[in-house]
Structure 1
Amino acid sequence: MPLNPLSATLSEGQKLETLKRFRAKYSEELAKLEAEMQEILTSISEADFLAQYLGEQPEIAELRSRKGELEAKEKRRQYLGKIIDRLDASIPQQAPVAVQPPAGGKAGLRRY
């Protein structure tokens, strides 16, 4: 006797939390990617600077060879930006909850 297939449905709250969780995940990836890109850009700038004084050395050529890697990372960065924008547009804005701060009265406090 075959068993019924399993299925799952998400409540509205679960859907919203999923969108928020993936937005945070992509934001973290974007920050990490931008740090890597900054490192590559710095090494390319250093290579250009050193080339003025040392000419084309193997080490300088190695630093400059990362331009292809930079282009691939830039494509991924643009793609992540589009995903994050789309998630931001999909996540409904919630009104802030207005909670009164607790009163600073004496409410049963005793001083000794």
Structure 2
Amino acid sequence: MPLPPLTVALSDWQKIEVMKRFRLKYGDELTKVESEMQEILTNMAEADFLGQYLGEQPEVVELKKRKADLEQLERRRQLLGQIIERLEKYTPPQQAITVAPPNPGKGAPAGSGAARQQQPPGIKRY
């Protein structure tokens, strides 16, 4: 007799957490892609600048070498932007959790903070 198939049902909280986790994951990837694109664009600008003075030297050509990667990175950047936008659209807003600050008076003698501030420096009172 075969065993019944395993099934999993996500709770509403789990669904929200999955969306948040993937939002962070795609946000990190977007940051990396944009950083890599910025590096390529900087190299290309440097190559164009140096090309005016040096011509097409091997070093200048080396800086322009990754220009083809730029289009692929731009497509990935646009796709990540769409995914992040969609995740933000469908992730329900979370209510802010407010917690009262802890009571600072516990464990400290009464009035000790104000009394210390009024004493001139160098005088110790026991």
Query: What TM-score do the two structures reach when normalised by structure 2?
Result: 0.80
Q: Which residue of 2 aligns with 1:67?
A: 67
Q: What is residue 42 of structure 2 aligned with on the other side?
A: 42
Counterpart amino acid of residue 61 in structure 1: V
| Structure 1 runs of 4+ with >3 Å offset | none
Distance 2:108 2:54 in 1: 78
Q: Which structure 1 residue ranges, 5 or more long, are not aligned?
A: none
Q: What's the % identity of the aligned pairs? A: 58
Query: What residue identity is the alignment partner of 1:87?
Result: L
After superposition, the Cα gap between the structure-2 partners of 1:110 and 1:85, relative to the gap in structure 1 and judged at 3 Å, is: closer
The residue identity in structure 1 corresponding to 2:27 is S
Structure showing greater radius of gyration is 2
TM-score, normalization by structure 1: 0.89
Task: Give CA deviations for 1:58-107 in whole Å, capped at 9, x if unaligned.
Answer: 3322322322101110110011011001101111111211211122334x
Matched positions, count = 109
| CA–CA separation in structure 2 for the residues paired with 1:110 and 1:102 | 13
Q: Deviations over 1:29-82 (max 9, x none)?
A: 011111111111111011001101001123322322322101110110011011
**TM-align CA RMSD:** 1.4
